[in-house]
Amino acid sequence: MKHRLGISFVYTAFLALLLSACDDGSSAPEEPVDTFDAAVVCPADGMNAYGEPNRGTFTDARDGQVYKYTTIGNQVWMAENLKFNAPYSVCYDKIEGYCETFGRFYSLHENGEWFDLFDQELLDTICPTGWHVPSVDEWSALANNMGEGAKAVSRLNSFKSFGEHYTPGSDNCGFNSLPAGALLENGDLEVVYVTSVYWTSTAKDLSSSYCSWFSSNEISFGINRAKMTIRCVKN
């Protein structure tokens, strides 16, 4: 009788150990804790590293255009799309007031081509003095500061309504990302009133560049469209 009890005890202990091991291996990973706090990441008040208010306006000396800006982490971003009338840029006029709201569409490739090398001189001068076209790494840093994934997109997107295909964001940091879409070579708009598609300064290969694409789930980096909007970041 004692022998049977001993076997039963050993079997029960082994089964408990086995189940415990299975639980450890099959447990779903915990969701990362969302620690985003706008008061820390992008406080509306106070001064940034440039000795300027965290949010405000500046004037492009080239044409007198006044732009809003916002400080997010250690970056200072334009809070509007670029409107400077640069070579190969287009002010889309098939929709009334479109250009005033969404800015101009630009090509940064040589001769304004869809696929080509960067026009380096244009790339270096397209933004106002003291600002530049952000790289993939700088866009990634922005996404990381905002919590990454769908949360980052929502926190950067404008809270305004642009129709049934656009989901307004919370715009926690005053970035005001706008669903301008992109301009195709045939003059049609792609994903207009749906999402934002911005230039980066990072080449993909010898004939194409990366764009910063605000999908519903993340900020991703795909191949450039013919013409896209520009958000500048401070040097």
Segments making up each domain of the chain, as ranges: 39-234
Can you say whether the dihedral through the CA atoms of 36, 40, 44, 50 is positive or negative? negative
pLDDT tens by residue, the chain, 235 residues: 444 444 444 444 444 443 344 344 555 556 568 789 999 999 999 999 999 999 999 999 999 999 999 999 999 999 999 999 999 999 999 999 999 999 999 999 999 999 999 999 999 999 999 999 999 999 999 999 999 899 999 999 999 999 999 999 999 999 999 999 999 999 999 999 999 999 999 999 999 999 999 998 999 999 999 999 999 999 9
Query: How is 137-206 classified by DSSP, letter by letter?
Result: HHHHHHHHHTTSHHHHHHHHB-SS---TT------TTS--B---BEE-TTS-EESTTT-BEEEEEEESSS
**Rounded CA gap, 171 and 158, in Å?**
5
Q: Quick check: 117 and 110 in contact, CB under 8 A? A: yes
What angle in degrees, to the nearest 10, is found between the helix axes of 149-156 and 136-145?
Answer: 90
Closest of 170, 171, 154 to residue 72, by C-alpha: 171
What's the pTM? 0.85
What is the C-alpha separation between 166 and 177, in angstroms, rounded?
Answer: 12
